[in-house]
Amino acid sequence: MTKFEVKMKQMYIKGALYAPFLLMIALLSISPVHAQTPPRLPINTPVEGEIIIPNQEQTWGFLGGQSMVISLRVVPDGDFDPLVILRDANGNELIRNDDYDYPNRRDALLEAITLPRLGEYQVVVTGYGGSIGAFTLTMLVGYADFALDERFTSLGDWQSVNTVSADATDGILTMQVDGIAQVGRLLNRQITPQKDFYAQMTLNNVTGRNGWIVGMTFREQANGNRYVVSVSMRGDWRLSVWEGETQRVLRDWAVHPAIVAGDTAFTLGVLAKDVSIDVFYNNQMLASITDSTIPNAGRIGIEVVTFNALNSQTTAQIDGLLMTIPTQVNGAFILPQQIMAGGSILVSHELERRHLVPGGGSLAWEVSESFLEASRPGVNRLPLIAETRFTNFVLSTTATATFMGEGIGACALLFQHADESTYTIAYLDNTGSYGVSIRRGDRFSEGIFGTRDGWTIANPTHLLVVVNGSVLYYYVNNLLVGQMEIEPVQGQLGNAVINFDPIRTNCQFRNTWAWRWE
């Protein structure tokens, strides 16, 4: 008999069985953020620091863009065990990590974190458990491992694909193309092709007679098929795909508040993940586009274009081109132990970028508020959007409960729901116990169970479940509390109330949403 079944059985008798497992998580004593302005943390430039007394903090600041993707890696010296924390401008903690491959290495790593808004952020490094020592901190855009860090100290293996002049001097690549509607491209065939990556080009200056267009090509195949993201002097951008000599526009020239017409120095970035393409300008996301034309790994390149007018000329000066790729341990992506808090779009992007779900999904539905009550022992179910069925999905809500009487009650996510005897629930109760339980017929089979001090569904609590193929991940308050193998079953999604005792439990669910993919 599972722990869940024991609880359900005891709802008919006085009292309840308390969970035999207690998960204790030590809270670090972290010193407060100091009032002085912290030094700036540059992108792609390691900085060194040292913690010389227990619980000391070293803090850096940076300006982050809307939905910008960053990675923070702390590499320790010797036996130092670092902890890295990301905070907002007010010092509120957003996410943390102390190691990702323990005991093989002590590095702290936050990879592919999606920033919630344009604004100032703080990066804090301290020692886990009072540890002291020296370290190196690096912030990268996109992922945490380099596939390319081109500083253009020379032209190297970069070659002209068509009519363009190019020269690299003092770390600046200068490209020039002349004529009516001419396209000049540079490609380095020695760069290892990549499928999932973040690429960013830094423009130092771009000028044009009659106007200019500059862009970055990516996932370029041996036959020339490629994607191209472009920006023009008008302050707009475009995403297109080339198949042979045919160009198909995926997003035509569009304006965005982040792009200022006439700006000649900026960064242009792309995050490619499966069939999802996210476009960035000055580290702010312009759009997310889904396209499956080129699903394979390919190379990146640079493109400059002249306007369709006599005597046109475009000259671009590129200060750098980088590509980052996901960190892997023993051939597997890193499983996020914590995810960022936020709305449905931000969290879904975070889950895609951190490889919990495939790219190219979409928001199926979102319910701003729902209520459910139970006054007897058992499970009270509320399927939402009854005509929808899901096999692979993300289901999220923020739940809180009030109680009348003594006993144990819980709020839950409901999924794989077919009828009153076929469903799965992921819950948190008012004693801090959480779990995932599967009902098939008269039996509940439990796959995840635990207890955490300080947690209670009487306080607003974020619950999130990912079911991807045959694997389920369960997050409570943005922390991973367990994963399990699960049979893929199509069913409804919704909310539930669980009473383990004869008490009245009222659950309020806010912002319940479902994300799906093929």
C-alpha 453/C-alpha 436 separation (Å) is: 18
234, 162: one domain: yes
Instruction: Confirm if 212 and 264 have CB atoms less than 8 A apart.
Output: no
Q: What angle do CA 419, 420, 421 make, to 5 degrees?
A: 95
Write down the pLDDT at residue 183.
94
137, 163: one domain: no
111, 8: one domain: no
CATH of the domain at 210: 2.60.120.560
Instruction: Give the single-character DSSP code of 104.
Output: T
Write down the pLDDT at residue 381.
97
pLDDT exceeds cutoff 90 at 244 = yes
Collect contacts of 39-45 with beta carbons under 8 A, ≥24 apart: 41/123, 41/137, 41/139, 42/139, 43/139, 43/140, 43/141, 44/138, 44/139, 44/140, 44/141, 44/149, 44/322, 45/138
Question: What's the whole-model pTM score?
Answer: 0.90
Residue 126 — very low, low, confident or very high, per pLDDT cuts 50/70/90?
very high
Q: Which domain holds residue 121?
A: 47-143
Domain boundary among 301, 325, 349: 325
CATH of the domain at 52: 2.60.120.380
Instruction: Tell whether 449 is covered by a domain.
Output: yes
Query: At a CB cut-off of 8 Å and minimum separation 6, what does 18 contact?
Result: 431
Instruction: Give the single-character DSSP code of 6.
Output: H
C-alpha 413/C-alpha 198 separation (Å) is: 34
Condensed to tens digits (0 to 9), the pLDDT of residues 69-104 reads 999 999 999 999 999 999 999 999 999 999 898 888
Query: At a CB cut-off of 8 Å and minimum separation 6, what does 170 contact?
Result: none
Domain boundary among 143, 163, 183: 143
Q: Copy the structure tokens of residue 130.
A: 């009072």
pLDDT exceeds cutoff 50 at 257 = yes
pLDDT exceeds cutoff 80 at 24 = no
Write down the pLDDT at residue 139.
98
Write down the pLDDT at residue 32.
46
160, 304: one domain: yes
Average the pLDDT over 37-55 and give the result: 96
Average the pLDDT over 213-230 and give the result: 97
C-alpha 431/C-alpha 40 separation (Å) is: 43
- Residues forming beta bridges with residue 198, ordered by sequence position: 271, 324
288, 230: one domain: yes
Average the pLDDT over 364-371 and give the result: 98
With tokens 């999220």, the residue in question is 396
pLDDT exceeds cutoff 70 at 12 = no
Write down the pLDDT at residue 406.
95
C-alpha 211/C-alpha 315 separation (Å) is: 10
pLDDT exceeds cutoff 90 at 446 = no
Instruction: Confirm if 186 and 153 have CB atoms less than 8 A apart.
Output: no
Condensed to tens digits (0 to 9), the pLDDT of residues 391-418 reads 999 999 999 999 999 999 999 999 999 9
Q: How many structural domains is the chain composed of?
A: 3
Instruction: Tell whether 387 is covered by a domain.
Output: yes
Kind of pairing between the strands at 393-404 and 492-499: unpaired
167, 237: one domain: yes
Write down the pLDDT at residue 27.
32
Residue 386 — very low, low, confident or very high, per pLDDT cuts 50/70/90?
confident
Average the pLDDT over 326-354 and give the result: 96
Average the pLDDT over 349-373 and give the result: 97
Instruction: Tell whether 333 is covered by a domain.
Output: no
Instruction: Tell whether 491 is covered by a domain.
Output: yes
Write down the pLDDT at residue 35.
55
Helix (H, G, I), strand (E, B) or coil at 181: coil
Write down the pLDDT at residue 30.
39
235, 312: one domain: yes
pLDDT exceeds cutoff 80 at 33 = no
Instruction: Confirm if 315 and 176 have CB atoms less than 8 A apart.
Output: yes
Mean predicted lDDT score pLDDT of the chain: 92
pLDDT exceeds cutoff 90 at 230 = yes
With tokens 């369960």, the residue in question is 474
Residue 22 — very low, low, confident or very high, per pLDDT cuts 50/70/90?
very low
Condensed to tens digits (0 to 9), the pLDDT of residues 169-211 reads 999 999 999 999 999 999 999 999 999 999 999 999 999 999 9
pLDDT exceeds cutoff 50 at 312 = yes
Write down the pLDDT at residue 1.
53
234, 139: one domain: no
Instruction: Confirm if 373 and 457 have CB atoms less than 8 A apart.
Output: no
Write down the pLDDT at residue 25.
31
With tokens 């100091």, the residue in question is 34
Write down the pLDDT at residue 103.
84
Instruction: Give the single-character DSSP code of 353.
Output: H
318, 228: one domain: yes
Write down the pLDDT at residue 164.
80
Domain boundary among 121, 143, 165: 143
C-alpha 440/C-alpha 305 separation (Å) is: 62
pLDDT exceeds cutoff 90 at 4 = no
Strand arrangement, sheet containing 378-384:
378-384, 492-499, 409-419, 422-429, 433-440, 443-451
pLDDT exceeds cutoff 50 at 288 = yes
H or E segment to which residue 126 belongs: strand 119-127
pLDDT exceeds cutoff 60 at 273 = yes
